[in-house]
Structure 1
Amino acid sequence: MTTPITVQVYSDVVCPWCFLGMRNLLDAWPRVGHDAMKVEWRPFILDPNIPAGGVDRQQYMLSKFGSKERIDAAHDRLREMGAQVGLAFDFDAIKVSPNTLDAHRLIHWAGRHGPERQSALVARLFRAYFQEGKDVGNRDVLVQCATDAGMDAAHARELLETDAHRKDVLEAVAAAQRMGITGVPCFILENRYVISGAQPAEVLEDAIRQVAALKERGKLDKDF
């Protein structure tokens, strides 16, 4: 594959399906070649009504699912799917359902440092929340994640203590809603082709190859 394509991924760092989708995309990436695509992470806030300090996760999940049995069933399914791709979810460790606006501001900033740095930060945030039970709405946690991803801690903290990129993130979220994105993960290839859900790496690889082939032939406006 010689023509790189852009893959925009709309996701939220507290979405377990997005964690699976990220894992599958990162598995597909080397199969098509690291120079074959450029990954851009775009914001989607699952629940903008969560206050800045977050809420108790157990109570929040009960309000969404209605019963502990339904929560456990959903978690069991996710654990099983995660195990199939090498991800271990630790839902019991999660105590807070956070507001993710600050996390998305940090991801937006990381995008200015290049796609690999941005992907590294996204991956670190997913691990922090789903495997370590950390509150990814807490600014100290966010600064540490940015540092772990190779970014400057002082700059990260300065950004979080201001409104930097807040408008950019909210406008991007609104744009996603106007495009009709109602669930994540959502992968958009070359601003034309949409793949919804945590699709297997093989599905993503095949789609990326097909879109790249169309781009090379100058036929992106045709269906594949």
Structure 2
Amino acid sequence: MKVEIWSDIMCPFCYIGKRRFEQALQQFDHQEAVEVQWRSFELDPNMQTVPGQSIHELLAARKGVSVAQGKQMNDHMAGIAKEVGLDYDFDRVIPTNTFLAHRFIHLAGEHNLQDAAKERVLAAYFTEGRNVGDLDTLAKLGAELGLDAAQVHATLETDAYTNQVRLDEYLAQQVGVRGVPFFVFDEKYAVSGAQPSELFLEVLEKVWSETQPVAQDMEGASCEVDGDC
């Protein structure tokens, strides 16, 4: 069974959805037969790093609220993340364009490290306050995964894996992805949002037992295009 997951690094629901899906997968009797493919999605392709700008300030500006209210929203999100064992530290988050990080994940995928790279980049962004839009940072993260840091740096200095990211985004349009995370199970079921692990398990079991394609959409909490969560 193949599960394709469209998500963005800057999407807090995407990391939560990853954990909930993993919890379901651990309970699935045929988890060894499940192939997970991470697909790129940019919530804000035009995102620029503004030195010194906090994620609270960015959220406040986008929502048209005060910085204090932006922080309250992020604190609420951190509470949701904690329920699945994630320790979001929004005070340290560095808002940045995620295109380079998506290319990095594709690079790691060439070494069968796609899932590990996805996890590492999400943790770096949400819990460690590292700039995942920075070449040096990604090279260090690559080294932590067992890749050659200098090679990672040199590769990402080119336009390598740009086409792979663009292909994922094109496929997202074809599938009808409007928010992330977005899960497609064996081209039979589309599950939108960070659904409860029980629902993911239900879909895994249903798809496994079926022989005919079935189309069904389920809506849940997600981040919309342009970073609206």
Instruction: Report the TM-score, using the length of structure 1 for normalisation.
Output: 0.87
Shift of 1:112: 2.3
Q: Which amino acid aligns with 2:109?
A: G
Q: Which amino acid aligns with 2:44?
A: D
Q: Distance in 2 between matches of 1:81 and 1:45?
A: 22
Q: CA RMSD in A?
A: 1.9
Equivalent in the alignment of 1:220: 213
Equivalent in the alignment of 1:100: 98
Shift of 1:28: 2.0
Number of paired residues? 212
Report 1:131-170 matches (<5 A). 131-170=127-166
Equivalent in the alignment of 1:173: 169
Report 1:115-126 matches (<5 A). 117-126=113-122
Q: Which runs of 5+ in 2 are unaligned?
A: 218-229
Report 1:13-32 matches (<5 A). 13-32=9-28
SS of residue paired to 2:160: coil
Q: 1:35 aligns with which of 9, 32, 37?
A: 32
Q: Which runs of 5+ in 1 are unaligned?
A: none
Cα contact 1:90–1:130 (8 A) shared by 2: yes
Q: Distance in 2 between matches of 1:177 and 1:219?
A: 24
Equivalent in the alignment of 1:88: 87
Q: Distance in 2 between matches of 1:8 and 1:60?
A: 30
Cα contact 2:190–2:215 (8 A) shared by 1: no
Q: Distance in 2 between matches of 1:192 and 1:50?
A: 33
Instruction: Report the TM-score, using the length of structure 2 for normalisation.
Output: 0.86
Q: Distance in 2 between matches of 1:222 and 1:128?
A: 35
Equivalent in the alignment of 2:181: 185
Equivalent in the alignment of 1:113: 111
Q: Distance in 2 between matches of 1:12 and 1:179?
A: 16
Shift of 1:222: 7.2
Q: Which runs of 4+ in 1 moved over 4 A?
A: 221-224
Cα contact 1:40–1:111 (8 A) shared by 2: no
Q: Distance in 1 between matches of 2:215 and 2:164?
A: 31
SS of residue paired to 2:46: coil
Equivalent in the alignment of 1:50: 47
